[in-house]
Amino acid sequence: MDMSQYLGMFIEEARDHIQSLNDNMLKLEENPEDLQLVNEIFRSAHTLKGMAGTMGFVNMQKLTHAMENVLAAARDGKLKVNPNIMDVLFKTVDALEAYLDVIVATGTEGQETNSHLVNVLNAILVKPTEEMALPSTSKTSKKYEYDEFVVRAIERAWSQGFNVYKFDVVLDQNCLLKSARAYLVFRTVEELGEIIHSKPSVQDIEDEKFDFEFSITVISKQPIEKIRERILSISEIREVKALEIKSGEVGRAEEKEEIEEVQQETQVQETVKVVRQQKQEAPQKTSKTVRVDIERLDVLMNLVSELIIIKSRIEGLAKKYNDRQYEESIEYLERITTSLHDAVMKVRMVPVERVFSRFPRMMRDLARELGKEFELVMSGEDTEVDRTIVDELGDPLIHLLRNAADHGIEDPEERVKNGKPRSGLIKLSAYHDGNNVVIEVEDDGKGIDLEKVKQKAIEKGLLKEDQIDLSDQEIIDFLFMPSFSTKDKVTNLSGRGVGLDVVKTKIEQLGGMVEVKTQKGKGTKFVIRLPLTLAIIQALLVTVHDEIYAIPVASIREIVDVAKEDIKVVQKGKEIIMLRNQVIPIKHLHSIVGLEPVLDKKKFTVVIVRRGEKLTGIIVDRLLGQQDIVIKSLGKYLEGITLISGATILGDGSVAMILDPNMLTV
């Protein structure tokens, strides 16, 4: 029987069960005597085992079966759950998730058997009174150690018929430009395959923070000797050792650390407080739902978008006629179209819990890695946002949460010394604010040292020493620049300056913005504001000369008429106006879009747009009114134009560009 038709359903169901395992195991770690939680975990594992067996994923089935046996023993009172057993169970869930990733990529579960985990789970049943840990034999049997992401890439490569090689390259002792020579090696090898790992890291190699040796791991279908000969053809290469990595020879680098942790006494385990999610358990309610392919929803949304476009065109034609019945029909069509649009948008909306649910487990592991104590408090998980936005939120939030744990929260001893609770607090919250969704990541750590940021900016040549009149916000903006980091010691979590610039870029691509509020010694709050949807929005249509532009209504604070004499020129030729005792800089939309400005007017129409708390006035020629518009992508050839976030088709068939408010306020 062909089971491939059920693969998509299996993947979705498996994801739900793995997430349920993670959530309930975090709760069980705090309440090891709660048999109801053990039952919930057992049911998820049992269901997952049956699904894997039905689909023919034998290795996944064996691992889940071993996990199920341990849970059954705990449920029957034959086994007492302790921190070491929980570590093994968490490791098992990670392995199940790795299986699922390979299944998503290849349709098969790969070649990894995880026999060492199965042996550990079975050994727990043999000696339930002893603290079990991953055996050292599972580590020593592995010749090559990599982090989890590289291991998954290797497993995926094997499943697709690729070979995996490791090359140890030794440079000549007289080589003067080591990083340049290494760059040539990288470029040569990438012509024959893909480099998935280097030791030391690529950044260290670029900075020449290595002796005369480095190693690279390569995925390729080319013969190993061919790649080795190409490397040796580069001058100043003294020696190249080439080894092929076989199945079963790869282990995860973090296993050794976990073994050492698990084998330590329980009192050592207690120095790291487990992150927990604090929220009131809402009473469960039954609902009738059905899984729908997201492509079908996209088709429905596109049809609604076309309907809105033709509705706008009919409205334009209706102005030519003075027929009451015709106008009533148009109004009725508009009500139906609006209701249909709202209904489709609600179908596309998903709660941010879909993203939030992965963070408690991540923060638990992070606390153990950093040796810090903190708890994660989440709220507003039921806040709904468009599916396309939710899918892109994961990476920015991971950066901010890791940043809060590494940069923000102090070590327990330092917190006690400063009169703070030993355990830190990280809050992750979401809520609606008008037509926006606001997500906040807040910590009660040491805050941002603005003076240190300023000194780093001077060191990097971004700021001159005589520029001391910067506002706090202008100093904070340096943190969002590429390769900017205030971390003195480079760690696996931070120190490369590749975090906050990624966050800002991703959020602005989604039409949102990031604000930072900080107080030294008190903590830091990152505020992300995002539109509810990226498909259909309300916009104000304005003109400059004969061109029409759209400005999202959600970003407009107000519209005012300003007399020419009320526009003042300050330092460096900047223009401002005073509005209710508030200074607001203004810009001419003509100049922004590259047209000749009209300066002979006695009165100007100014659209005040906002970016968080920052206001900017945009001078336009004329207002055409508010309208629902359908956002169309500019395509890859125009995606580099930061001022324009998209385009829309108007009722008469013409195209209007949609201005990005984030760029207007820069």
Q: Is 458 helix (H, G, I), strand (E, B) or coil?
A: helix
Q: Is 436 a catalytic residue?
A: no
Looking up tokens 């089935």, which residue turns up? 61
Span of 254-263, 417-426, 498-507 with lowest mean pLDDT:
254-263
Q: Could you say which of 13, 39, 46, 254 is catalytic?
A: 46
Question: How many structural domains is the chain composed of?
Answer: 4
Cβ partners under 8 Å of residue 343, min gap 6: none
Residue 54 lies in a domain: yes
Residues 181 and 232 grouped into a single domain = yes
- Among residues 514, 531, 544, 490, which one has the least CA distance to residue 629? 531
Taking only the tens place, the pLDDT of each residue in 349-371 is: 888 888 888 888 888 888 888 88
Rg of the chain over CA atoms, in angstroms? 29
Taking only the tens place, the pLDDT of each residue in 3-34 is: 667 787 788 888 888 888 888 888 888 888 88
- Dihedral angle, C-alpha 261, 263, 265, 267, nearest 10 °: 20
Q: Other CB atoms closer than 10 Å to residue 466's CB: what's the count?
A: 6
CATH at residue 224 = 3.30.70.1110
Q: Note down the domain range covering 188.
A: 146-247
Residues 114 and 179 grouped into a single domain = no
Residues 579 and 512 grouped into a single domain = no
Residues 388 and 515 grouped into a single domain = yes
CATH at residue 73 = 1.20.120.160
Residues 527 and 566 grouped into a single domain = no
pLDDT of residue 617: 92
CATH at residue 407 = 3.30.565.10
Q: Is 65 a catalytic residue?
A: no
Residues 541 and 518 grouped into a single domain = no
Residues 31 and 99 grouped into a single domain = yes
Omega before residue 200 within 30° of 0, cis: yes
Q: Could you say which of 22, 59, 403, 436 is catalytic?
A: 403
Residues 8 and 26 grouped into a single domain = yes
* Greater pLDDT, 599 or 339: 339
> Is 329's pLDDT higher than 60?
yes
**Residue ending a domain, choose from 247, 266, 292:** 247
Q: Could you say which of 29, 40, 68, 373 is catalytic?
A: 68
Residues 102 and 211 grouped into a single domain = no
pLDDT of residue 534: 64
Residues 156 and 57 grouped into a single domain = no
Amino acid identity at 631: I
> Is 440's pLDDT higher than 90?
yes
